[in-house]
């Protein structure tokens, strides 16, 4: 039942809600759409007013329509990967707090599809297009992405590369990256400092910038410690548990001198741990294992996984912030967020060379 | 360098690509945008033609623009939850294969925000609006959602409730649910069959349909087995690892007769396992633990978690399929997907009552 109103024909407006709650119109908007800095007490007042007036959010949405048709597109490889899901949360949360809608597209690791989707987002007049995850080392691909960066820029939109290297100084695209190479360096140094001399890197994705940077850090640490690196120990594999499991089984048959495995991601590490458990190899006594990402369940693996912490959610937030605060024609922004090692229980000094 | 063309002024079109690849125009479109049923050999031919003609996907996108401006909106609580992420993958994959874009919105568990977002999606002319996850047991909320279902229907759009109960026969909304109550029944029966008589249910979300259905299954199994149920053992808590950890610590201080914990989700179970490990309680010898969801790392917990398998990705796909195949004015569709127990290592008969 709508309560008494000055004009019973008229539906309540957002102004009526604001007046009854004793707050401003933008505060009502923030409280309803979910802008975060609204105090709980204020929010309660607004919701009480909404109920008392039987205010239909409908009208509210219309009032906002001008602002909310702006969308931010983000393009991920696979939303179920913890890496992508947490970046997606950061993107979505920040976009929502700035009154934008989010368009999500997935590419299933296909560079051609990624390019097609970026272009579609331009057609959709997305205010910013955020491409999440590693890029592809392919001239054709880089050329096309550069073309799209320029096309988006001309259309008043903006390309953000999140978690991948820059396309170059002269390309109008913002880069939000994390210390990928140095995270891999730090973890490799951690393993070398513990006394490991024969370390396998498990999960080299072919032509992926994420891999190239991690392998570069792996190499640089070996060089700095004066430990020769056996290239055959950089093992190919998808970023999946199954790949970690299969490659570890093969490795155990093939080499008995490896004392540590640096998995490309925590999901790969979960597969590594399972294969080692099945083979009766004790972690960390007989084999040290390290991961990359620090996913929520990394500490719940057995043993708890030593890994590199990547600030996924911050990467997503920062991508939106930089895209929306950029002025047309300004130089492309750049941010690099820090990573650090999280030491748990899966790394120890090698007992002795495995026979 | 563009290759020789009949008219060097003209950029290649999707028709040129189709002709060179020897396939139809829709096949080129499917191969580039990622429709799944394209044979790998066909796809290779298309990609080769794209490269040879230096076809810019731009033109392709424009050709498709009519079809691709259609969007499917899906609204989740939190995209980082494995439950939501996998449903999201199903929604996105199916939507992409039908040439639709996906709008993603998150609500962070706030019913008011969910309502506001549903209405915004109507304003955005989404072809379908898929609301994912449990509903709220609140009259105000149900009334508003019913209102939106009708408003969407009038606007030629359609509401899909994915993973929550129907709003009633007369409301034009499609329901895609899973055997939630009977999944909880089956797991409780599994624990009772093993000999457990004092089982805690951990993680009752207040006023959430997901919880209500699971608790109903928990109750029904107790009744069928003639085992009295102690209501104080249905413990409140968020669906998070932290809640599982905290509630278990409290439970251990408070009750010594509980021999099994049925966690509301696998993430909650991860917290339960951690608290038990810290307290030196052996699983499953001293305490059985079961979860719900079957997330990818459920088998990697220690011990491997016995849980209820929910077909998340299928729920997402089915939601899109039913929404898009529905004819205007047809009765609201309904689907219920099956769940089943996955028996691993975290449940065993009780050794004896804990002292």
Say whether both A161 and A185 belong to one domain.
no
CB contact under 8 A, B68 and A120: yes
Q: Look at residue A130 and tell me if it is in a domain.
A: yes
> How many structural domains compose chain A?
3
Q: Which residue has the tokens 């409290």?
A: B250
Q: B92 and chain A: CB distance < 8 Å anywhere? A: yes
User: Model confidence over A132-167: pLDDT tens digits?
Assistant: 888 887 777 788 888 888 888 888 889 999 998 888
Query: Residues A201, A232: contact at Cβ < 8 Å?
Result: no
Query: Residues A43, A31: contact at Cβ < 8 Å?
Result: yes
User: Model confidence over B133-157: pLDDT tens digits?
Assistant: 888 877 777 888 898 888 888 888 8
CATH of the domain at A53: 1.10.260.40
Sign of the torsion formed by the C-alpha atoms of A221, A225, A229 and A234: negative
CB contact under 8 A, B60 and A116: yes
Say whether both B88 and B236 belong to one domain.
no
Q: Range of A56's domain?
A: 14-66
Predicted confidence (pLDDT) at residue B63 exceeds the cutoff of 70:
no
User: Model confidence over B215-243: pLDDT tens digits?
Assistant: 999 999 999 999 999 999 999 998 999 99
- Low-confidence spans in chain A with pLDDT less than 70: 1-12, 29-30, 32-37, 51, 54-69, 328-329, 352-355
User: Model confidence over B68-126: pLDDT tens digits?
Assistant: 467 888 888 877 777 888 898 899 889 888 888 888 887 777 777 778 778 777 777 78
CB contact under 8 A, B34 and A116: yes
Q: What's the CA gap between A117 and B342, in Å, rounded?
A: 38
Nearest CA in chain B to A125: B69
Q: Look at residue A344 and tell me if it is in a domain.
A: no
Q: Which residue has the tokens 């290759």?
A: B3
Q: Write out the two tokens for B210.
A: 């997901």
CB contact under 8 A, B119 and A60: yes
Q: Write out the two tokens for B54.
A: 């230096």
Taking only residues 189 to 248 of chain B, the set having a beta carbon closer than 8 angstroms to any beta carbon of chain A reads: 241
Q: At A137, is the secondary structure helix, strand, or coil?
A: coil
Q: Look at residue B299 and tell me if it is in a domain.
A: yes
Q: Write out the two tokens for A333.
A: 């922004």
Question: A-chain residues within 8 Å CB-CB of B33?
Answer: 113, 116-117, 120
Q: B305 and chain A: CB distance < 8 Å anywhere? A: no
Say whether both A118 and A142 belong to one domain.
yes
Q: Look at residue A351 and tell me if it is in a domain.
A: no
Say whether both A198 and A271 belong to one domain.
yes
Q: What's the CA gap between B27 and B22, in Å, rounded?
A: 10
Q: B41 and chain A: CB distance < 8 Å anywhere? A: no
DSSP A293: B
Q: Write out the two tokens for A168.
A: 């170059």
Quote the ipTM score.
0.75
Query: Residues A269, A307: contact at Cβ < 8 Å?
Result: yes
Go through chain A and tell me how many residues it has: 355
Task: Give the mean pLDDT of B164-180.
Answer: 92
Q: Look at residue B348 and tell me if it is in a domain.
A: no
Instruction: Give the rounded distance of the alpha carbon of B341 from its chain centre.
Output: 17
Q: Look at residue B347 and tell me if it is in a domain.
A: no
Query: How big is the A-B interface in CB pairs under 8 Å?
Result: 161
Question: Residues 6 or more apart from A239 whose CB is under 8 A from it?
Answer: A81, A203, A205, A264, A265, A267, A268
Say whether both B237 and B186 belong to one domain.
yes
Residue A37's pLDDT is 59
Helix (H) or strand (E) holding B244: helix B241-254
Q: What's the CA gap between A106 and A78, in Å, rounded?
A: 6
Q: What are phi and psi of B46, to 5 degrees?
A: -65, -45
CATH of the domain at B164: 3.40.50.2300
User: Model confidence over B288-314: pLDDT tens digits?
Assistant: 999 999 999 999 999 999 999 999 999
């Amino acid at each position: 039942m709508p309560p008494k109103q000055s004009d019973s024909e008229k539906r309540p407006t957002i102004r009526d809600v604001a007046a009854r709650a004793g707050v401003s119109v933008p505060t009502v908007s923030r409280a309803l759409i979910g802008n975060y800095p609204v105090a709980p007490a204020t929010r309660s007042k607004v919701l009480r007013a909404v109920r008392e007036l039987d205010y239909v959010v409908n009208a509210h949405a219309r009032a906002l329509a001008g602002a909310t048709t702006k969308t931010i597109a983000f393009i991920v490889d696979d939303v179920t990967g913890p890496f992508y899901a947490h970046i997606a949360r950061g993107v979505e949360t920040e976009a929502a707090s700035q009154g934008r809608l989010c368009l999500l597209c997935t590419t299933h690791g296909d560079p051609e599809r990624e390019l097609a989707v970026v272009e579609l987002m331009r057609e959709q007049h997305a205010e910013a297009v955020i491409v999440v995850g590693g890029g592809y080392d392919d001239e054709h691909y880089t050329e096309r992405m550069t073309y799209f960066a320029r096309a988006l820029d001309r259309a008043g939109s903006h390309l953000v590369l999140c978690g991948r290297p820059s396309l170059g100084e002269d390309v109008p695209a913002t880069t939000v990256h994390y210390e990928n190479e140095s995270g891999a360096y730090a973890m490799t140094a951690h393993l070398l400092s513990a006394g490991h001399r024969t370390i396998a890197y498990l999960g080299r994705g072919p032509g992926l910038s994420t891999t190239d940077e991690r392998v570069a850090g792996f190499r640089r640490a070996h060089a700095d410690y004066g430990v020769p690196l056996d290239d055959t120990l950089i093992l190919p594999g998808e970023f999946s548990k199954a790949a970690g499991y299969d490659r570890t089984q093969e490795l155990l048959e093939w080499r008995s001198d490896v004392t540590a495995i640096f998995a490309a991601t925590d999901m790969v590490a979960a597969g590594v741990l399972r294969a080692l458990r099945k083979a009766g190899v004790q972690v960390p006594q007989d084999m040290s294992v390290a991961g990359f990402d620090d996913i929520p369940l990394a500490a719940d693996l057995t043993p708890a996984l030593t890994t590199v912490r990547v600030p996924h959610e911050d990467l997503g937030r920062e991508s939106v912030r930089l895209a929306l605060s950029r002025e047309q024609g300004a130089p492309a922004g750049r941010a690099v967020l820090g990573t650090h090692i999280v030491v748990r229980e899966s790394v120890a000094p090698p007992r002795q060379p495995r026979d």
